[in-house]
Amino acid sequence: MMTGTAHLYASKLRHNSAKRLNSIFLTATLTAALTLSQHSLALAGNENGGSIYLHSSARPVLQEGRAAAEERAPPTPAGAASSIYTMVTEAAQRHGVPVGLAHAIIKIESGYNCHARSRYGALGIGQVMPSSARAEGVSGNLYECSTGLEASMRYLKHALALYGDSCAAASAYNTGIFARSQCTGYGRRAMRLAQEIR
pLDDT band at 188 (very low <50, low <70, confident <90, very high): very high
State mean pLDDT over 23-45.
Answer: 45
Region 12-24 average pLDDT: 49
> Which CATH number does 80-197 carry?
1.10.530.10
Q: What is the mean pLDDT of residues 170-198?
A: 94
Round the CA-based radius of gyration of the chain to a whole number and report it: 23
pLDDT tens digits along 101-159: 999 999 999 999 999 999 999 999 999 999 999 999 999 999 999 999 999 999 999 99
Say how far apart CA 79 and CA 85 lie, in whole Å: 10
- A 10 A CB-CB count for 60 gives 9
What type of residue sits at position 98? P
DSSP E strands in the chain: the ranges are 39-46, 49-56
- Across 2-30, average pLDDT: 49
3-state SS, residue 151: helix
- Give the Cα separation of 29 and 154 in Å (integer): 44
Please state whether the predicted TM-score (pTM) of the whole model is above 0.75. Answer: no
Q: What is the pLDDT of residue 80?
A: 57
